[in-house]
Chains A and B, each alone.
Chain A
């Protein structure tokens, strides 16, 4: 069933590549989106905290919020977005073929993907790194004690390569068991097929919630790779790339300037020129991207600033309980930094 969908996508790419001498999907994403009336956003097949349907069936998460922010920027309405769940293997093909307008699918920005796949990363909405989760009863405290272990993971991710590099560098044997869907990988780890489950550390915390007894498992402290996760667009449509890039920057800038979804209407009257430019009171920054000048106002009003989306989806008060860490603002010793609206 999944395979069929994937083959269909590949077929779409083939047909597009074969038949149309002028590729229809390369440019003009904004006008296509406006005509269609909603943003089509590629997300994961269910990763709590990043993109996951809640108990009412609404998609929620940090990646989902990026999609909603883009919809708010274009339409002034964060509900004008539809989601396409994609496996790790399918995601780039779906984007290349024009099935989705953008990916916000906990996707690692790597050089090969940026330069070889005809796609562009627009930023980093979550700085992550690969880690390991094991059963507490094993009594392991470091991933260097995992020599000879079986590892469950997802097929078609950077994880497979990182694990290979890490174990070989440290002269440890390992067995990799790679599943097409994250749910099956977690289920196999849960039944004891593997000694460890390995993926991005944020996802380890998220997937742990799905295990029969979450408290019997522990996430090891080591991070073995850099996994900057960010939204992806097709290469060659700079206007659309700008909109997706600045949707994230607007949220980071809003946090830095103290603008939240609660005070955004009041802030419109603020005297700070940086805030006035961000909210579109002064300047024509939205117009330059082909959208309304109040684009960021709508993002912050309906989705919130970066801190709000972080705390709501993965923060200390959520079941994931992740600290800001490297994802704090640069002013607080973190890596989240947005160029100014100027």
Chain B
């Protein structure tokens, strides 16, 4: 009986019990992780497989054909990681922008009253979301590459932009010291846009009048540019691509691997985004559209001011998943030799160094961080529109 009363008393002290339980669980978890990590290290040592992260400072010794930061063979594996990560980010960010843009229009097109537009959008969605992405990447790479000419017979646009089977060759812009005035002009333009937009909204709320934002912004921006020109002249030089030997030298070259990957990722993800946009728009009650029409709003005004802001709340969460998918899918780049993080770090570096455990762990951590960062930004945006919707709704 006495024993039972101790248990009963113990049960009554819920707060202390919970804290102790949590400490115990944390301790067990910590021990488990410690045991796993120490086991990995000792087993790798027993198998004579090198371990640790010392290789980050070793000389890489291999070339990479697309680098957003300065890189050469004498740089370290750490630098290789940075180059690969930036290449992954480049294709992911541009892919997210392109697929959102395209997906949004196709999603709206899918709901169009026009039979042809709606069926075309449907055909697009069904084709692109039902063919495996790797095959699409291969198609764009080999299918398009095969039809491009060799450098000596490049397609050219006014002898400034060239297209051949080594990619796009564009002139590079080299900015002089006076370019800072042009930068200022751009900042003024952007600032003006937001200021005029706020003002237009205030006028709208106060008087119900719609005033243009673009006209004053454009005028001010042109004035700023003119001022910059008067002060600094033209502080830009163009580095033109010139055919020398096997290929073009100078300028910027956009490698075909990048174009094929970006195209495949954007077209594939756009088909999913289109369906998400359609679902979001269809979730807005029919009465909202009718009410907008009754108030005399035009079709596009109704879409921009009434339908889309409400649809966005349904669209954003699944859209976030698509952004995460696109970033992770970009690792398929390795199949067509685009130098992303999986190719140069979890590929070449892994085989040169041979430390699969460390390198795969780092790569996984980076993808995890990218995904969490994307989620964070999208959740913040989601919370913001939810709030805006709340105050007006």
B-contacting residues of A (Cβ < 8 Å)? Answer: 1-3, 7, 10, 13-14, 16-21, 23, 26, 88-89, 92-93, 96, 112-113, 116-118, 146-150, 152, 155-157, 160-161, 163-165, 167-168, 173-181, 184-185, 187-188, 191-193, 195, 234-236
- Chain B: minimal CB distance from A200 (Å): 15
Given the complex of chains A and B, what is the CA–CA distance between A117 and B350 in angstroms? 11
Given the complex of chains A and B, what is the CA–CA distance between A185 and B142 in angstroms? 11
Residues on B with C-beta less than 8 A from A89 are 347, 350-351
Task: Give the contact-size bracket for chain B.
Answer: 35 or more
Q: In this complex, what residue of B is CB-closest to A181?
A: B335
Residues on A with C-beta less than 8 A from B142 are 187-188, 191
Residues on B with C-beta less than 8 A from A188 are 142, 145, 336-337
Residues on A with C-beta less than 8 A from B73 are 164, 168
Interface centre among B47, B247, B249, B350 (most CB of A within 10 A): B47
Given the complex of chains A and B, what is the CA–CA distance between A184 and B354 in angstroms? 23
- Chain A: minimal CB distance from B186 (Å): 34
Residues on B with C-beta less than 8 A from A157 are 351
12 intermolecular pairs with C-beta atoms under 8 Å apart: A21-B42, A23-B43, A150-B247, A156-B351, A164-B61, A164-B63, A174-B63, A176-B64, A176-B65, A184-B336, A235-B48, A236-B47
Q: In this complex, what residue of B is CB-closest to A176?
A: B63
Residues on B with C-beta less than 8 A from A174 are 63
Given the complex of chains A and B, what is the CA–CA distance between A160 and B64 in angstroms? 10
- Chain A: minimal CB distance from B265 (Å): 15
Q: Which of A112, A116, A155, A235 contacts B337 (CB 8 A)?
A: A155
Residues on A with C-beta less than 8 A from B39 are 17-19, 21
Interface centre among A16, A160, A174, A187 (most CB of B within 10 A): A160
Q: Report yes or no: B145 in contact with A117, Cβ–Cβ below 8 A.
A: no
In this assembly, does B246 line the interface, its C-beta being within 8 Å of a C-beta of chain A? yes
- Chain A: minimal CB distance from B132 (Å): 9
- Chain A: minimal CB distance from B311 (Å): 36
The 9 A-B residue pairs whose C-beta atoms are closest, nearest first, are A156-B351, A118-B49, A118-B47, A148-B245, A117-B354, A17-B43, A118-B48, A160-B62, A176-B63
Residues on B with C-beta less than 8 A from A165 are 61
Residues on A with C-beta less than 8 A from B62 are 160-161, 164, 176
Q: Report yes or no: B348 in contact with A160, Cβ–Cβ below 8 A.
A: yes
Residues on B with C-beta less than 8 A from A234 are 47
Given contacts A18-B40, A23-B43, A178-B337, list 4 more A-B pairs with CB under 8 A: A21-B42, A146-B246, A188-B336, A235-B48
- Chain A: minimal CB distance from B142 (Å): 6
Given the complex of chains A and B, what is the CA–CA distance between A88 and B343 in angstroms? 13
Q: In this complex, what residue of B is CB-closest to A115?
A: B48
Q: Report yes or no: A92 in contact with B246, Cβ–Cβ below 8 A.
A: no
Given the complex of chains A and B, what is the CA–CA distance between A274 and B145 in angstroms? 59
Residues on B with C-beta less than 8 A from A1 are 134
- For window 42-60 of B, CB contacts with A under 8 Å fall at 42-44, 46-50
Q: In this complex, what residue of B is CB-closest to A174?
A: B63
Q: Which of B36, B48, B50 contacts A236 (CB 8 A)?
A: B48
Residues on A with C-beta less than 8 A from B46 are 23, 26, 236
Q: Report yes or no: A156 in contact with B63, Cβ–Cβ below 8 A.
A: no
Given the complex of chains A and B, what is the CA–CA distance between A163 and B61 in angstroms? 10
Q: Which of B42, B64, B357 contacts A14 (CB 8 A)?
A: B357
Q: Report yes or no: B64 in contact with A96, Cβ–Cβ below 8 A.
A: no
Q: Report yes or no: B43 in contact with A177, Cβ–Cβ below 8 A.
A: no
With contact pairs A14-B357, A19-B39, A21-B39 given, residues A177 and B48 touching in the complex (Cβ less than 8 Å): no
In this assembly, does B278 line the interface, its C-beta being within 8 Å of a C-beta of chain A? no
Q: In this complex, what residue of A is CB-closest to B35?
A: A18
Given the complex of chains A and B, what is the CA–CA distance between A273 and B84 in angstroms? 61
- Chain B: minimal CB distance from A124 (Å): 20
Q: In this complex, what residue of A is CB-closest to B65?
A: A175
Residues on A with C-beta less than 8 A from B246 are 146, 148-150, 195
- Chain B: minimal CB distance from A240 (Å): 14
In this assembly, does B76 line the interface, its C-beta being within 8 Å of a C-beta of chain A? no
Residues on A with C-beta less than 8 A from B48 are 118, 235-236
- Chain B: minimal CB distance from A211 (Å): 14
- Chain A: minimal CB distance from B126 (Å): 23
Residues on A with C-beta less than 8 A from B245 are 147-149
Given the complex of chains A and B, what is the CA–CA distance between A47 and B230 in angstroms? 65
Q: Report yes or no: B47 in contact with A26, Cβ–Cβ below 8 A.
A: yes
Q: Report yes or no: A155 in contact with B334, Cβ–Cβ below 8 A.
A: yes
- Chain A: minimal CB distance from B365 (Å): 14
Given the complex of chains A and B, what is the CA–CA distance between A339 and B84 in angstroms? 47
Q: Report yes or no: A178 in contact with B357, Cβ–Cβ below 8 A.
A: no
Q: Which of A156, A161, A178, A180 contacts B61 (CB 8 A)?
A: A161
Given the complex of chains A and B, what is the CA–CA distance between A187 and B165 in angstroms? 13
- For window 257-307 of B, CB contacts with A under 8 Å fall at 257
Residues on B with C-beta less than 8 A from A191 are 142, 145-146, 165
- Chain A: minimal CB distance from B38 (Å): 10
Residues on A with C-beta less than 8 A from B347 are 89, 155-156, 178, 180
Given the complex of chains A and B, what is the CA–CA distance between A173 and B357 in angstroms? 34
Given the complex of chains A and B, what is the CA–CA distance between A262 and B293 in angstroms? 94
- Chain B: minimal CB distance from A137 (Å): 10
Given the complex of chains A and B, what is the CA–CA distance between A158 and B142 in angstroms? 26
Contact with A along B130-153 (1 / 0, CB 8 A): 000010000000100110101000
Q: In this complex, what residue of B is CB-closest to A93?
A: B356
Given the complex of chains A and B, what is the CA–CA distance between A116 and B134 in angstroms? 34
Q: In this complex, what residue of B is CB-closest to A165?
A: B61
Given the complex of chains A and B, what is the CA–CA distance between A7 and B361 in angstroms? 11
With contact pairs A10-B356, A89-B350, A176-B64 given, residues A17 and B44 touching in the complex (Cβ less than 8 Å): yes
